[in-house]
Amino acid sequence: MTTEPQEAPTFFAAEKNPIRKIESAVLLLFRLCTWSILIAAAAVFLTILIKGLPIIISSQFPFINTDFLTQSPETLHVFEHKGISYELADSDFRAFQEKTGKTIPSATYAHSGGGLFPAIIGTLLLVIGSMFIALVFGVLSAIYLSEYSKPGKLIDFIRLSILNLAGVPSIVFGLFGFGLFVIGLNWNVSLLSGWFTLAFMVLPIIITASEESLKSVPQGFREGSLALGGSKWKTIRRVVLPYALPGILTSSILGVARVAGETAPIMFTAAYAVRDSLPWEIERWSDFLSKVSWPCPTTFTSLVPKFLKTNTPNVCSMEQHWCCWSSCSRLLLFPCCYADIFARETLGNPLQTYNYGLK
Amino acid sequence: MTDPNPNRPIPETAVEVSSIDFYYGKTKALDDITLDIPKNQITSLIGPSGCGKTTFIRCLNRMNDLIEGAQLTRGTIRISGVDIYDKRVDVIELRKKVGMVFQKSNPFPMSIYENIAYGLRMQSIRKKTIIDEAVERSLRNAALWNEVKDRLHSNALGLSGGQQQRLCIARALAIEPTIMLMDEPCSALDPIATARVEELLFNLKENYTIVIVTHSMQQAARLSDHTAFFYLGKLEEFGDTSKLFMNPGNPQTEAYISGRFG
Ligand SMILES: Nc1ncnc2c1ncn2[C@@H]1O[C@H](COP(=O)(O)OP(=O)(O)OP(=O)(O)O)[C@@H](O)[C@H]1O
Ligand SMILES: [Mg+2]
């Protein structure tokens, strides 16, 4: 039997009915939503980059305004001298005055000159310390909750409390840290207080993420290990944790973003509004060990209230501001994204593509 | 039917199971099972899907302890005369002596070598010569050595399904248990590998007591000395394989082994 070749298209042609129309309408809706989110995100980032980049990038080698990244913030002096208008940071201004030998009247803007170095260091120190504390506490308690504890009312209650903790506004954590660490334990406003406060703040994220990760470990691994005479802890350490760890770490990057982007708790517990001294800039080296109250420099985000408090927004501070955000996004956000992608690609995949039936 | 070999010595018992009931929460999965698994022989468990074979062998190394709400409510299981559900029994020691190959193969996401070494490392054996020797011996026994000897340090998850199953057999052999529980060990294997595994089990019989769950009547008939037929959580019939296949005492058994079921 021979069939006409033109019959085939009609044979496979889509049915014409309302369900198809609805389907394509729904698809369109999904597309629109996704694209509008993308556009919003792109708008935010482009604004920051366009406004901030001209300050960070310079025309000479190494093409980056290194001073901005390596110097402390200073008061900015804006003045006119011999018909030329200048914008100079405090130290340059003093040098300029000495050179000319005159006292020059100037308009001053606090924290609008100099660089961001203390903020970079402060943010890094806070993030590293608090994430370390949070990971230790979080992963251990997640292991207890999901591997050891017997399910029951008490455990459900504990889980619920942890979830509730995630919804507590960060300022409350700030007050808690202020009360407990700064005043109660007399740690003062210090790195240590900040570390613990922020660690407690991200703990719910870490615990929930770790529990999810541990749950996704195939039961077959645990059974296999136990059947070979493994103890519970050895099973967790040798099979369960290695499998769950990439997931735990990638989810914890959310925590990093939260710590780095936090304001209120940091200002309460770690960073004085106007402290630019670095942790190692202390009176005596012995203080570093004997005193727990290491000073913590400002962080990126605690610069914001500082700007708002010390300056009415003006051209100069806004410039610094954009710049700050631009470097903030480049220094923090991009590494975070890369770390996330890296972790997913290199750590996650080999394990998670493991196609093996979970019981 | 008379015993074809009346002078045969009565085998010693490795596992004595007496009238056990087993529940998953409120559903009864095993109902009044009593059987003696003879030492240094192969006992096969047959029966339709869902009849409780897996549940039964998982009771023998207390693997069911891991399942929430699952418990043995009545009866005792004795291995070498010791009630394994006694409070004083250490499950880790029990599982070292009662090895298991699971129905779903479950190699660890590590190298082939590490998979086999795992059980030894659990016993804090660190000497490389001992581990190397155990790895080669168990892989040879599981008929896998020739296929993997050049890539011992590559990931076990890169093996084919049947190779993974043999790896799990090798892994269980490496710790040299005295009793081997095997839940459908050949379900993913081709006839050649199946023959190799059967040959292995036949040789292992000298030193091991083997309990094997199988859906292949031929395999049960070829391989085992004793056969137990489970049906709906009950042990319908248990006896010499030859007798059970030639002359089943139970109409259910006969229907099942002759393929006329339901
Ligand atoms: N973890 C569990 N929780 C609740 N019920 C279970 C569980 N595991 C098994 N069962 C039930 O217990 C009964 C016996 O199951 P079992 O796995 O022992 O069957 P099986 O004989 O091994 O079957 P198959 O040949 O398909 O492997 C089934 O009805 C099953 O649904
Ligand atoms: Mg089964």
Quote the pTM value. Answer: 0.76
Report CB contact under 8 Å: B109, A230. no
Q: What angle do CA B173, B176, B182 make, to 5 degrees?
A: 45
- Sort out which chain B residues have CB atoms less than 8 A from A220's CB and list them: 102, 104, 106
- The pLDDT tens digits of the residues spanning B71-116 come to 888 889 998 888 888 888 899 999 999 999 998 888 998 899 999 9
Q: Which two tokens stand for residue B56?
A: 């039964």
Does B66 contact chain A (CB < 8 Å)?
A: yes
Question: Is B5 among the domain residues?
Answer: no
Contact (Cβ atoms closer than 8 angstroms) between residue A295 and residue A301: no
Question: Is B213 among the domain residues?
Answer: yes
Q: Which has the higher per-residue pLDDT, B3 or B20?
A: B20
Q: Which has the higher per-residue pLDDT, A187 or A305?
A: A187
Calpha distance A30→B45 (Å, rounded): 54
Average confidence (pLDDT) over A316-328: 55
Instruction: Determine the distance separating the centroid of ligand 2 and the alpha carbon of B106, expressed in angstroms.
Output: 14
Q: How far is B114 from chain A (nearest CA, A)?
A: 11
Q: Which residues line ligand 1 (CB under 6 A)?
A: B 24, 29, 47, 49-55, 67, 103
Question: Is B142 among the domain residues?
Answer: no
Instruction: Determine the distance separating the centroid of ligand 1 and the alpha carbon of A142, expressed in angstroms.
Output: 30
Report CB contact under 8 Å: B66, A230. no
Calpha distance A73→A122 (Å, rounded): 13
- The pLDDT tens digits of the residues spanning A158-192 come to 888 888 888 888 888 888 888 887 777 877 767 77
Q: How far is A292 from chain B (nearest CA, A)?
A: 41
| A 231-260 → B contacts, CB under 8 A | 231, 234, 238-239, 242-243
DSSP B13-52: EEEEEEEEEEEETTEEEEEEEEEEEETTSEEEEE-STTSS
Q: How confident is the model at residue A359 (pLDDT cuts 50, 70, 90)?
A: very low
**Residue B67: Cβ within 10 Å count:** 15
Does B189 contact chain A (CB < 8 Å)?
A: no
Contact (Cβ atoms closer than 8 angstroms) between residue B38 and residue B209: yes
Question: Is B227 among the domain residues?
Answer: yes
Tell me the range of A287-291, B191-195, B257-261 where mean pLDDT is highest: B191-195
Q: How confident is the model at residue A353 (pLDDT cuts 50, 70, 90)?
A: very low
Calpha distance B180→B223 (Å, rounded): 15
| A 197-236 → B contacts, CB under 8 A | 218-231, 234
Q: Is the pLDDT of residue A82 over 70?
A: yes
- Sort out which chain A residues have CB atoms less than 8 A from B61's CB and list them: 227
Calpha distance A226→A87 (Å, rounded): 70
Residue with tokens 């210090």: A190
Report DSSP state, residue A177: H
Average confidence (pLDDT) over A313-340: 55
Report CB contact under 8 Å: B172, A238. no
Indicate which CATH number applies to the domain containing B194. Answer: 3.40.50.300
Report CB contact under 8 Å: A220, B102. yes
pLDDT (0 to 100) of residue A314 = 47
Closest residue (by CA) to atom 19 of ligand 1? Answer: B50
Question: Is B114 among the domain residues?
Answer: no
CA distances from B203 to B126, B197, B210, B228 (A): 28, 10, 11, 22
Report CB contact under 8 Å: B104, A220. yes
Which ligand has the minimum distance to the alpha carbon of residue B29? 1
The whole domain housing B199 covers: 13-107+178-257
Total count of domains within chain B: 1
Does A359 contact chain B (CB < 8 Å)?
A: yes
Question: Is B59 among the domain residues?
Answer: yes
> Strand, helix or coil at B202?
helix
Closest residue (by CA) to atom 18 of ligand 1? Answer: B52
Closest residue (by CA) to atom 30 of ligand 1? Answer: B50
Question: Is B91 among the domain residues?
Answer: yes
Q: What ipTM goes with this model?
A: 0.89
Which ligand has the minimum distance to the alpha carbon of residue B183? 2
Q: Is the pLDDT of residue A288 over 60?
A: no
Q: How confident is the model at residue A286 (pLDDT cuts 50, 70, 90)?
A: very low
Which ligand has the minimum distance to the alpha carbon of residue B52? 1
Question: Is B19 among the domain residues?
Answer: yes
Which of B63, B95, B105 is opposite residue A229, by nearest beta carbon?
B95
Considering only alpha carbons, which residue of chain A is nearest residue B65?
A: A223
Atom of ligand 1 nearest to the CA of B67: 1
Contact (Cβ atoms closer than 8 angstroms) between residue A176 and residue A197: yes
**Residue B124: Cβ within 10 Å count:** 7
Does B123 contact chain A (CB < 8 Å)?
A: yes
Calpha distance B235→B36 (Å, rounded): 12
Report CB contact under 8 Å: A224, B123. no
**Residue A279: Cβ within 10 Å count:** 16
